[in-house]
Amino acid sequence: MIHPAALRDTKRWDARKFAELARVLQSQGLSIVLTCGPGEESAVAEVSKDVPSPQILLGLGIPELAELIRGAKLYVGNDSGPMHLAAAVGTPIVALWGSSDSKRWRPWLAEHALVQNPFECNPCPGYRCLVAPTPLCIESVTVEQAAAAAGQLLKKHDTHPQPR
């Protein structure tokens, strides 16, 4: 499951990177489900145009979203409310992290991988980047980093290991 939205630009990974990660996960045999909250539909539309046959679920309430996340093999998303919901229901999480304090706001109830690069200015208030025209912290996170984190979590939680 991929939830590509977040309230602030400093917490929002690029839609093209989400799409590329989705294609990597599909190449490993996973189905992709894209979700978002009200008013965030453009984020899902942007990701879905570059992902073959994703399932798109819009307009879910919190109880429905929680159950969807609970049934997912993996949750991928930005530092956002749904990421914390994933932690609450115990789904493994790849959290793509930008401006906020990852030590303080990490998903603490579920197994997770934080994908964040160090910046001297981090953490920051996050309403905008204070050192550059665009939020370098979230922009610096690569698809390769996210795919590696996802691969590690999926391998750890694989209930059908391949025979040797």
In this predicted structure, what is the pLDDT of residue 158?
77
User: Is 97 a residue whose pLDDT tops 70?
Assistant: yes
Q: In what order do the strands lie in the sheet with 112-115?
A: 55-57, 33-35, 2-3, 75-78, 93-96, 112-115
DSSP state of 10: G
Q: Is residue 123 reached through a cis peptide bond, with omega within 30 degrees of 0 on the bond before it?
A: yes
Looking at the domain assignment, is residue 160 inside a domain?
no
Looking at the domain assignment, is residue 45 inside a domain?
yes
Looking at the domain assignment, is residue 16 inside a domain?
yes
Which structure tokens are listed for 115? 């994908």
CATH number at residue 13: 3.40.50.2000
Looking at the domain assignment, is residue 163 inside a domain?
no
Confidence of residue 109 (pLDDT cuts 50, 70, 90): confident
Looking at the domain assignment, is residue 99 inside a domain?
yes
Mean pLDDT estimate for the chain: 92
Q: Strand locations in 32-136, DSSP E?
A: 33-35, 55-57, 75-78, 93-96, 112-115
In this predicted structure, what is the pLDDT of residue 119?
87
Range of the domain at 91: 2-155
**Number of separate domains in the chain:** 1
Looking at the domain assignment, is residue 20 inside a domain?
yes
User: Is 33 a residue whose pLDDT tops 90?
Assistant: yes
Looking at the domain assignment, is residue 119 inside a domain?
yes
Section 139-150 average pLDDT: 97
Looking at the domain assignment, is residue 161 inside a domain?
no
